[in-house]
Amino acid sequence: MKLYLIQHGISLPEEKDPEKSLSLEGKEETQRTAEFLKAKNIEVDAVWHSPKQRAAQTAQIIVNSIFCSEIKERDDLNPLDPVANFPEEIKSSNKNLMIIGHLPFLQKLASLLLSGSETNQFISFKNSGVVCLEYTDTWKVAWMVTPALL
């Protein structure tokens, strides 16, 4: 089972856009990431994203390039939402899943999965970057990529 964690693309400042939509740079970097995922034939059973505009836009760009059975907006993926219930939900789904969201949520979730504590920080997330975790008997980092590497 694989879990892909993606921090949304770079957004416009709130004073320019109260919704904080993706900036042109954010769209371009997310598109490069989407093309990378497509070239790697990444397929997921579901994409979950937060209701915030920048996450929804990032999800749409990614889903346009990969095979995905379901895309779902979830109200519990906001930056400060708790992560405690996610490990069991993810594991029990037994599906390849992609979560597109925000910091510190993604950071806490990755830490919880990898170490059992959401306070450890093993991974430095980047906008439009992907962290792939793989579960066999425990969660492990399989790979990660940032737009700067593409």
Note whether 52 and 11 are within 8 A (CB): no
Cα torsion 35, 36, 42, 47: sign:
negative
Q: Are 74 and 90 in contact (CB under 8 A)?
A: no
Those residues of the chain that have pLDDT short of 70 are: none
Tens-digit pLDDT profile for residues 72-83: 999 999 999 999
**Could you tell me where the beta strands, DSSP code E, fall in the chain?**
2-7, 43-44, 46-49, 67-68, 71-73, 97-101, 130-135, 139-145
| CATH class label, 2-149 | alpha beta
Say if pTM beats, i.e. exceeds, 0.95: yes
* 3-state DSSP assignment of residue 31: helix
Q: How far apart are CA 101 and CA 77, in angstroms?
A: 6
CA distance 140 to 2: 10
Q: What is the pLDDT of residues 108-120, one digit of tens each?
A: 999 999 999 999 9
Q: Are strands 46-49 and 71-73 parallel, antiparallel or unpaired?
A: parallel
